[in-house]
Structure 1
Amino acid sequence: MHAIHHPLSARDATRMAEVRTKAHGAADTGERLVSMAADQGPTIATSPFQVGGITGEWVAAPGTSVDGVVLYLHGRRFQFEEPANVLAGKLSAATGWPVLMPRYRLAPAHPYPAALDDTLDAYRALLEQGFPADRIVLIGHSAGATLTLQALLRLRTAGEPLPAAAVTVSPITDFTFGGASIANGHDDVVTHQELRQARDAFLGDADPAGDVSPLTGACPGLPPLMMVCGGDERLRDDTVRFAERAAAAGNEVSLELYDGMPHGFPVLDTDATSLLLDRIAAFATEHLAGRPAGNALGPLTIRRVGWASYVITTERGTRVLVDPYLTGSQGIHHGLPQSPIRPVDLADVDVVVVTHAGFDHRAQALEIVRSGHSVLVCGTALFASARAAGVPIERIAVTVSGVEVRHRDVTLRSLPARHESSMTTESGFVADQPQSFMLTTDNGARVFCGGDTSLSQDLRTWGELYRPETAVLGIGGLWLGATRVVELPPLDAAAAARWLGVSTVIPVHHTPGDALPTQLAANLAGDPIEVVPLEFGQSWTAAGAMSSSR
């Protein structure tokens, strides 16, 4: 178990003294805390959710992604609703994903197991809507944290798919109230009497010592858990004891205690709340479908591996191979320089991107995808060939303009390219839309992957919208007899770089040692744009250093 104590800031010490004064003697401490929540939360939008008998709200902050979802279970003693702007909106802004906040049935009119059954039905509704379990993060606060643990234990016992990760903030894990902090938490804003009232309303006739208490069911096989509690909470020992038992059972558990903080602090405007939201976002990102996170960060690198092909390695180690032509010839594509890098050398990449169906861009794509675990991102023309070659459909992302693909810490947005895309298969001639891609990483790197495109005002638009820092542009072409056909001549490529607003251009689609990159550099003389020509096997990092690695 990984345990962290977060110290109380001076600002929060003053703020908590004010909170305790206002909460003391209040008829409903939960209502008082909600009324003291920050007036200016993030901008959010909400819409109703209903599947079968389950209702709730979708809550989304601006710019949220589509690759994951938070199922948030609110607090307030199992007995009251919670407005979306209290915590759900903050979670959406912090994680970058939409939040589903179900309206579970409330006690005492609907005692245990009504709220738990509704929680499980909401989770299953997400699965039925097509959300994979490993794209769902379950987060609960107070009463909702208790429901989170109960739901995980019920799913684990039933052998149902578990979410990617779960976060609990201040749960009741022992309804017998056997933890010492229950009686000793005199600095908390919640009284012992209020906890008993919430328990009795929720349990109805259920036995507090039975399996309704999550502490009795801590078992192996749970998803990664982040368990959070304020250091002054009466429920501190409930969190600590469950975390210890879950870790002893072999589960991955992160325990975080926020010194000096009372129950309900995440709804308040405090330094601890800001830190907690950041910690939740990092934890959820780390575990969402295996997307890497944590402290193992390095610089983004781009390694040229062939004629128009290169591997982008993100700060967190995800490897994206673009346009994997290495060798061979087909149709007009003959006389191209052959790469010393073999398909087997690239079998461990995570994503293979094909901008268009021309052989000099797609050549070894299917061989590489079949031999490893990568996801193939391509247009419709290559899709049938990929399926015929045995690539599982769940490892193919078919894209056209405007489609966004998320994988691990990478986002790929398809943009229209000015070119052509066609190939001949056993079924005949097929064609689709050529594409460029805007690649962004969770750590903020932005790379324009041009593929083959001609100069157009679209490039100015992409620069204004997506602000790429680096562009990989195809600037060369083929000799067809005495004629040279160049895709994006150096003069046009210079204009493209300016319109995109990048600081670095890596030219491809040319023979190593060609004069074309020098011509591009000359056309950009006086501009704050660096031109970085690469030999096959040579790499560039975001810091500007190059290395040779074959």
Structure 2
Amino acid sequence: MVGGLNTHRRMIARLSAAAGAPALSVAYRMLPAATLPEMVDDCLAAYRHLLDLGHPADRIVVAGDSAGGFLSFATPLQAIRDGLPAPGGIVAISPLTDLDHTAKLAHANLLLDPFIPGSRLPLLNDLLLADLAPDPLHSPVNGALSQLPPTLIHCGSTEILRVDSELMADRLAQAGVPVTLVIWDRQPHVFQIFADACREGLRSLTELGAFVRALPATRASGNRDTAA
């Protein structure tokens, strides 16, 4: 519902510099103008665009924060389902990964998160899914995760989406996907966007960039193509 190219430009620029890769920032349609499948379609179109330009899939890293973190998993899953190759890596910052909010509503962080009104998350589903029948596969945590690439997840210790970050990390590990989850002590939702005033945010972006640099395809080639 909020955010876009301008709100995230500085954070993406920092991540791009840390990764040593140009970044394609996707202005996907958002609520209330678009439903979840339309958002995924927009991100998938951006991924297809990079492939059509000749960027090898294993040198593309898909990254996102919050709702974009949801899309950073949903887009590769849809790409694989459509017969496209998986990207070389996934970077997720405070991602929403599960549209079943039962565990979040029962977690202590429901009362600690200063940004996301966790009790209203169920209302989000009505907007995201509109007239679609409920389906567990709408949540990336329930997808065919074994084909996903190496993944790095960063989140704050007191935010409600810590629950989703931990669940996705567990599911990826169970599926045999190399995954690392870093939980930053007492940091709020997407604290990386405050890197100008928050040294933890800057450190996090530096670590996320180092992860991209260390991915097998990019390490072997000596340079990265695109982080989307």
Mark yes or no: TM-score above 0.5. Answer: yes
**Cross-structure match for 2:179:** 253
**Cross-structure match for 1:141:** 65
Cα distance in 1 for residues equivalent to 2:9 and 2:107: 32
**Cross-structure match for 2:4:** 81
Cα distance in 2 for residues equivalent to 1:86 and 1:182: 35
Q: Give 1:148 shift.
A: 0.9
Pair 1:166 & 2:86 matched: no
Q: 1:143 to 1:194 in 2, by over 3 A?
A: same
Cα distance in 2 for residues equivalent to 1:220 and 1:159: 15
Aligned 8 A contact 2:149 2:178 in 1 = yes
Aligned 8 A contact 2:104 2:118 in 1 = no
Cα distance in 2 for residues equivalent to 1:145 and 1:208: 21
Q: Give 1:279 shift.
A: 0.8
Q: Give 1:256 shift.
A: 0.9
Count of residue pairs brought into register by the alignment: 219
The aligned amino acid for 1:112 is L
Aligned counterpart in structure 1 of residue 161 of structure 2, from 226, 235, 257: 235
Pair 1:278 & 2:199 matched: no
The DSSP-based 3-state class of the residue aligned with 1:167 is strand
The aligned amino acid for 1:101 is S
Q: How does 1:94-493 map to 2 (within 5 A)?
A: 94-180=18-104, 183-185=107-109, 186-189=111-114, 190-268=116-194, 269-287=197-215, 289-291=217-219, 407-408=221-222
Aligned 8 A contact 1:218 1:242 in 2 = no
Larger radius of gyration: 1
Q: Which structure has more helix as a fraction of its residues?
A: 2
Aligned 8 A contact 1:107 1:201 in 2 = yes
Cα distance in 2 for residues equivalent to 1:125 and 1:409: 20
Q: Give 1:86 shift.
A: 4.0
The DSSP-based 3-state class of the residue aligned with 1:254 is strand
Q: Which structure has more strand as a fraction of its residues?
A: 1
Cα distance in 2 for residues equivalent to 1:80 and 1:110: 15
Cα distance in 1 for residues equivalent to 2:3 and 2:154: 22
Aligned 8 A contact 1:228 1:255 in 2 = yes
Q: Give 1:200 shift.
A: 3.1
The aligned amino acid for 2:155 is C
Q: Give 1:141 shift.
A: 0.5
Aligned 8 A contact 1:174 1:208 in 2 = no
Cα distance in 1 for residues equivalent to 2:45 and 2:88: 17
Cα distance in 2 for residues equivalent to 1:139 and 1:275: 17
The DSSP-based 3-state class of the residue aligned with 1:100 is coil
**Residue deviations 1:153-186 (CA, integer Å, cap 9, x gap):** 1123333111111111111111110324665212
The aligned amino acid for 2:152 is M
Long gaps (5+) in structure 2: none
Q: 1:182 to 1:150 in 2, by over 3 A?
A: farther
The aligned amino acid for 1:216 is N
Aligned 8 A contact 1:80 1:106 in 2 = no
Q: Aligned-pair RMSD on alpha carbons? A: 2.2
Aligned 8 A contact 1:227 1:239 in 2 = yes
> Structure 1 length as normaliser, TM-score?
0.38
Identify the structure with bigger relative contact order (alpha carbons < 8 Å, sequence gap 6+). Answer: 2
Q: 1:255 to 1:218 in 2, by over 3 A?
A: farther
Q: Give 1:206 shift.
A: 3.1
Q: 1:218 to 1:110 in 2, by over 3 A?
A: same
Q: Percent identity?
A: 35
Q: 1:267 to 1:198 in 2, by over 3 A?
A: farther
Cα distance in 2 for residues equivalent to 1:242 and 1:155: 19
Aligned 8 A contact 2:5 2:26 in 1 = no
